[in-house]
Amino acid sequence: MNKPEIIQLGNPILREHARRVDDFGGPEFQQLITTLQNMMIEANGIGIAAPQLGSSWQIIIIASRPTARYPNAPEMQPVVMVNPRFEVLDTNLHKDWEGCLSVPGVRALVPRYQAIKVDYQDNQGQSLEMELRDFPARVFQHEFDHLQGLVYLDRVENNRDIVAESEFFKLIAA
């Protein structure tokens, strides 16, 4: 197998609706999860979605932690979520910075819900629920969007909320 790559904005796979996973027993499914974990860590990501590897399945990982890309991110245990859904617990939207491994070189302020309840299946197919708040809730909504064929730039309210990544690092250091 060739080394997997993170596909970039413009690739039509990022605009597809990802398929639900029904077969949790296949070796390809478990291999895809392992590859997602490895690629996310290698790229200093704090979340990843299967379509970003060109695999249009409803699988995401959320893993907020401080990295070179997100020095101020809070630490959480990484969670693999298969077939995730969510409901909104607090309808207030809050804008904060996001970036994306599939959209290199830019960051933008994106409005997201601050409190959500997620249900999903783990990598064995077991159904689980989790409440997420603040930054981890943001990471979830970003990755969930990838499963709907959306990227974070689609949520930006004003083009002025988009900046070059080099300027973003100056802003958060100030």
Place of tokens 């070059």: 164
In this structure, the strands spanning 59-62 and 127-133 are unpaired
Least separation, in Å, of the C-beta of 76 and Zn ion?
A: 17
Q: Which stretch binds Zn ion (CB under 5 A): 31-39, 55-63, 95-103, 106-114?
A: 95-103
53 lies in the binding site for Zn ion (CB under 5 A): no
DSSP labels, 83-141: EEEEEEEEEEEEEEEEEETTEEEEEEEEEEEEEEEEEEE-TTS-EEEEEEEHHHHHHHH
- Using the minimum distance from each CB to Zn ion, give the nearer residue, 102 or 114: 102
Q: Which stretch binds Zn ion (CB under 5 A): 15-23, 34-42, 94-102, 158-166?
A: 94-102
132 lies in the binding site for Zn ion (CB under 5 A): no
Least separation, in Å, of the C-beta of 155 and Zn ion?
A: 11
**Residues labelled catalytic:** 143
Q: How far apart are CA 107 and CA 97, in angstroms?
A: 6
Residue with nearest beta carbon to Zn ion: 100
100 lies in the binding site for Zn ion (CB under 5 A): yes
Interface residues with Zn ion (CB under 5 A) are 100
